[in-house]
Structure 1
Amino acid sequence: MAFNFTILDKQQIESIVPLVEKLNDYKIPATILKERILEMANQNYECAAVFDEDKLIGICGLWFCTRHYAGKSVEVDHVFIDEVYRSQGLGKKFFNWIYNYVKSKGCETVELNTYSTNYASHKFYYNEGFNILGYHFLKKL
């Protein structure tokens, strides 16, 4: 299979809502997800995508920033590959594409958060050379 990796145009950003919904452990309504994603698109955010022909099968949000401990950095967010395409090496290919893309934008590091119970992602990220640096805390206001 030949997959196409790309950065979505802002006009295409709403197309990620169905995939983000599948990651949605908090059961946030699609209307709110759409509002938030449209707002994100107007910040320091881009969305990498994987297509199988014209079918969107994978996404990865990219948040660009500079951090005192890491230099110019990208934080990957809401990584998702359609279940049918998993365990075939697509995640590795997607991340290699992402690494090359963010390097071309001057990034020195890649960071991410993953749910503590998502053991498959832990194995994947360890295999990709990621190390645990700390804990992610969240407080609802």
Structure 2
Amino acid sequence: MGMRKAKITDWQELSELLHQLGYPDTDLFIKSKMEKMLNHPDEELLVYEQNGKVAALISLHFIPQLALKGDFARISYFVVDKIWRNQNIGKKVEEYIIDLAKSRNCDRIEVHCHSRRERAHRFYESQGYKESPKYFMKKMDEDGSLQS
């Protein structure tokens, strides 16, 4: 029980968790994405196990900073399985990544959370996260051209 590094063999459970988060059909490519992340020095793909099952997933990216003393840790994906929610698993995962971020010389953790995820906003606020306005994004097609 507890936190551990994800394994390729977890792919189906991770795909299901991502589906719960609103990302269907990840089973078509998730193994190759996991392999890339598990082998990248600035990525952490972690799971929380409960009773031998994957109960939560968190993906972290560490971003070195040139102009600041501390670096950033960015949460890319964080989801607790719907059957395990409201049992403090999210809080345990978040506490674990704080220690991990500190060990990587990070002085902040950031997360981009879509405006429709109001329950997630309440969780992050309860954990001490503050809203940081303005987030810009440019989407590109597979060939690198900009989407309209």
TM range (shorter): 0.7 to 0.9
Other-structure match for 2:135: 135
Q: CA deviation at 1:111?
A: 0.9
Quick one: which amino acid aligns to residue 42 of structure 1? N
Other-structure match for 1:103: 102
Q: CA deviation at 1:12?
A: 4.8
Name whichever of 40-49 and 92-101 sits farther off.
40-49
Q: CA deviation at 1:126?
A: 1.1
Distance, in Å, in 2 between the alignment partners of 1:132 and 1:103 is 21
Other-structure match for 1:91: 90
Over 3 Å counting, the alpha-carbon distance change for 1:57 and 1:119 in structure 2 is same
Over 3 Å counting, the alpha-carbon distance change for 1:12 and 1:63 in structure 2 is farther
Aligned positions of 1:38-77 closer than 5 A: 38-43=35-40, 44-67=42-65, 68=67, 71-77=70-76
Identity score, percent: 20
**Is 1:18 aligned to 2:16, yes or no?**
yes
Using the size of structure 2 for normalisation, the TM-score is: 0.78
Over 3 Å counting, the alpha-carbon distance change for 1:29 and 1:7 in structure 2 is closer
Over 3 Å counting, the alpha-carbon distance change for 1:126 and 1:69 in structure 2 is farther
| Secondary structure of the structure 1 residue equivalent to 2:121 | helix
CA contact (8 A) 1:62 1:74 kept: yes
Which segments of 5 or more consecutive residues in structure 2 lack a partner in the other structure? 142-148
Other-structure match for 1:33: 30
Q: CA deviation at 1:94?
A: 1.5
Other-structure match for 2:144: none
Quick one: which amino acid aligns to residue 62 of structure 1? L
Larger radius of gyration: 2
Over 3 Å counting, the alpha-carbon distance change for 1:136 and 1:70 in structure 2 is farther
Distance, in Å, in 1 between the alignment partners of 2:138 and 2:10 is 26
Q: CA deviation at 1:116?
A: 1.2
Distance, in Å, in 1 between the alignment partners of 2:33 and 2:128 is 31
| Secondary structure of the structure 2 residue equivalent to 1:20 | helix
Q: CA deviation at 1:90?
A: 1.8
The structure with higher relative contact order (CA 8 Å, sep 6+) is: 1
| Secondary structure of the structure 2 residue equivalent to 1:108 | strand
Deviations 1:19-58 (A, max 9, x none): 2233244x44411233323223332211121101321110
Aligned residues: 137
CA contact (8 A) 1:48 1:98 kept: no
Which segments of 5 or more consecutive residues in structure 1 lack a partner in the other structure? none
Q: CA deviation at 1:107?
A: 1.8
